[in-house]
């Protein structure tokens, strides 16, 4: 009997064939799912229209990294603010309050890693809620709580 742990299979995924999601009005593609990596990581590509981006929030059980592919984002992470343009890498340790938004006048795009994986599952749950016609702020906050994502009071 083989007692070795199940190891993930190698994966090569282009944006065009990556599964699509639409959560919070944002178009996304799952480049690496949590399932494909044995839970180690998930990687999404997201496109934000001008002015789009989440309010202050934290992830209690995941570190997060962004890599700006195109456009210009204003970021605030742990009270530090910056402008991020293509080629910028951002690391956000778990439990760090952060937000970003597209401050340009064209669609911006970023790669979003979560370590360990899980963001793909969170955004899939939100996407499914929207697709099923059951999206409400209250329901979205319940799902966020299930995935250890929280928003400070007033958001």
pLDDT in tens, 22-59: 998 899 999 999 999 999 999 999 999 999 999 999 99
Average pLDDT for residues 118-129, to the nearest whole number? 92
Q: Is the pLDDT of residue 154 over 60?
A: no
Which class is 20-149 in CATH? mainly beta
Burial bucket for residue 65 (CB in 10 Å: 0-12, 13-18, 19+): middle
pLDDT at position 1: 56
Torsion of CA 140, 141, 144, 150, to 10 degrees: 150
N-term to C-term CA, the chain: 52
pLDDT at position 6: 65
Domain locations in the chain as residue ranges: 20-149
For 78-117, the pLDDT digits (tens) are 999 999 999 999 999 999 999 999 999 999 999 999 999 9
Q: What is the pTM of this model?
A: 0.86
pLDDT at position 153: 63
């Amino acid at each position: 009997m083989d007692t070795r742990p199940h190891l993930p299979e190698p994966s090569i995924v282009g944006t065009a064939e990556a599964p699509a999601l639409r959560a919070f009005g944002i178009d996304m593609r799952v480049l690496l799912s949590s399932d494909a990596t044995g839970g180690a990581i998930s990687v999404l590509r997201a496109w934000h229209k001008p002015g789009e981006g989440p309010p202050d929030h934290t992830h209690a059980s995941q570190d997060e990294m962004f890599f700006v592919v195109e456009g210009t984002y204003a970021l605030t992470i742990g009270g530090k603010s910056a402008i991020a343009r293509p080629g910028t890498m951002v690391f956000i340790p778990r439990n760090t309050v952060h937000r970003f938004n597209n401050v340009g006048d064209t669609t911006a795009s970023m790669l979003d890693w979560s370590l360990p994986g899980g963001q793909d599952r969170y955004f899939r749950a939100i996407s499914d809620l929207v697709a099923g016609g059951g999206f409400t702020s209250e329901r979205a906050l319940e799902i966020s709580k299930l995935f250890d994502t929280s928003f400070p009071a007033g958001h």
